[in-house]
Chain A
Amino acid sequence: MNHHVNDYDADHESVYDGLLGGDASQWAFGTDFEDPLAGMDTSVPAGLDAAELADLCLRLGDDALVYSHRLAEWCSNAPDLEEDIALANIALDLLGQARLLLARAAAASPGLVPVLPEGSPVPVEDRLAFFRDDHDFRNVRFVEPENGDFAVTITRLLLFATHRLAVLERLRAHPDAVLAAIAAKGVKEVAYHRDYGGRWFVTLAQGTDESRRRLLAALETVFPLYDELLATGVADVRDEVEVVVDQVLAVAGVERPDVKPIGGARHTEALSRMLAEMQVVARAHPLGVW
């Protein structure tokens, strides 16, 4: 009676047959990569240096990419479902910004893009994300460390989003129309991220003894790299950022920690470990086939 299996195979098609109705474009998320800048004029405006513009986009894009990956590590691990979804949403917004910015960098300075074997379908922004080594990443160290507990995550998110919002607000007036448009769009998104971080910061500071203890410990963990964020960011927005940070600290009833900034290497070991995990699958299949 064990030829039942064969009968089954002969009588039934795959359960996946017919799902698409013969039209592959009905497959989830489309048939192919789409160019996030499709049809846009990506020529570099007169008076701008293409390499400088590309470097600026790469720095902003790498900050968003690395931090997005960190925040996404909370997915299915957050204290409750709402925070899980919130952190994943913030990570998705940043990933979208990273994609646009890396695509903009590649269009401005194609020589930056790692070369893959002939026939590779990997789009330029993915080549930059998955085929550069750690020392070629231009992000600040601030976004690299592991997430720590929820208090560390919230403290880092508050400072990161406050700084990024101020930078993007400035860049809305950048002479490159593509970068200006990416920035203007990002402002709307990061405003939500900053308020989320600020509200949780105050909640943890004024919640239980345990939440406050953890928040105070988080300040000691996060602030040593804060100075670098302000100093090496893409625009000098220190004053605007500090006004907002002081406002949140005051409402939370928390003193700024007395910590020494960490100097030294441009990246931490945490970045190398993260990239090893993030890039391994793409690097194993540069032709997109397996």
Chain B
Amino acid sequence: MTAALAHARSVAATVTDPELPMLTLADLGVLRDVALEDERVVATITPTYSGCPAMASMRDDLVRVLRRSGFADVEVKVSLDPAWSSDWISARGRAALAEAGISPPGPAPRRDGPVPLTLLPVRRALTCPRCGSSEVDLTSEFGATSCKALYSCRSCREPFEHVKEI
């Protein structure tokens, strides 16, 4: 790897997610690749969910930060395959989520065939990110952003968000 490519990668790796600013795009697993084509930096990102409204922000943030570091020519590409998985959130990203009061995801389901129907509430072994209690209740599988479910803690009585496994 050239010094220029290493520099571009380290700069791109500092860009944070617009909706989860405690995470970098790299820690979230959304930044898939940074390459150098002659003078041009080509960064590739993938949406967490199909309707992610933050793709334009992420693109602009990458372009801005890379330009500020001296890369005049920046292109941001989109990748859809393979589809984003919560398994791609790094260990550092999981720690940052927990630190910010958001419960990190467990392992994503691995499926080859049809997705089985689940009529009972999803059961996850997780703990309250505030007090550590495992006495938690699922409030809703849908939260303030596509990637999160809502929980409440029976011990400290606080609500919290959990990043869903996909």
Q: Which residues of A contact B (CB under 8 A)?
A: 23, 25, 28-40, 82-83, 85-86, 88-90, 92-97, 99-100, 165-166, 169, 177-178, 180-182, 184-189, 191-192, 194-196, 198-199, 202, 240, 244, 247-248, 251
Residues of chain B touching chain A, judged by Cβ–Cβ distance below 8 Å, are 42, 44, 47, 49-57, 59-61, 63-64, 75-84, 114-115, 117-122, 139-144, 146, 150, 164, 166
Interface centre among B77, B118, B119, B142 (most CB of A within 10 A): B142
Q: Is the CB of A96 within 8 A of B47?
A: yes
Chain B nearest CB from A233 CB (Å) reads 16
Please give, as numbers and ranges, the residues of chain B lying within 8 Å of A94 by CB-CB distance: 51
- In the assembly, what is the distance between CA of A208 and CA of B52, in Å? 37
Set B56, B84, B122: member contacting A31, Cβ < 8 A: B56
Are B54 and A185 in contact (CB-based, < 8 A)? Answer: no
A251 to B119, CA, bound (A): 9
User: Are A95 and B141 neighbours in the complex by a CB distance under 8 Å?
Assistant: no
A-B contact pairs, 20 of them (CB 8 A): A29-B56, A31-B56, A37-B78, A38-B76, A39-B42, A39-B44, A40-B78, A82-B139, A82-B140, A95-B51, A180-B81, A182-B50, A184-B81, A186-B50, A192-B141, A192-B166, A194-B115, A195-B117, A198-B119, A248-B119
Name the contact of A248 in the complex, choosing from B50, B83, B117, B143 (C-beta under 8 A): B117
Most chain-A Cβ atoms within 10 A of its Cβ — which of B44, B59, B164?
Answer: B59
Q: Are B118 and A195 in contact (CB under 8 A)?
A: yes
Hey, which chain A residues are within 8 Å of B143, CB to CB? 85, 89
Q: Contacts A30-B57, A92-B51, A93-B51 hold; do A169 and B115 have CB atoms under 8 A apart?
A: yes
**What's the minimum C-beta distance from A205 to chain B, rounded to whole angstroms?**
11
Contact of A188 among B44, B144, B166 (CB under 8 A): B166
List of B residues within 8 angstroms of A31 by Cβ: 56, 60
A248 / chain B contacts, CB cutoff of 8 Å: 117, 119
B142 touches A89 (CB 8 A): yes
Knowing A166-B114, A189-B50, say if A199 contacts B81 (CB, 8 Å).
no
Min Cβ gap B14→A in Å is 16
The 4 closest A-B pairs by CB, nearest first: A39-B77, A96-B51, A30-B56, A96-B50
Q: Please name all residues of chain B whose beta carbon is closer than 8 Å to the beta carbon of A96 when the two chains form the complex.
A: 47, 49-52
B residues in contact with A191, CB < 8 Å: 115
Which of A85, A178, A187, A244 is B144 in contact with, Cβ under 8 Å?
Answer: A85
In Å, the complex CA distance between A216 and B166 comes to 33
A95 to B51, CA, bound (A): 6
Cβ contact within 8 Å between A244 and B83: no
Contact partners of B64 in chain A: CB under 8 A: 23, 25
Contact partner, B55, options A36, A166, A195, Cβ 8 Å: A36
Assembly CA distance A89 to B164 (angstroms) = 13
Measured between C-beta atoms, what is the minimum distance from A50 to chain B in Å? 20
A223 to B163, CA, bound (A): 35
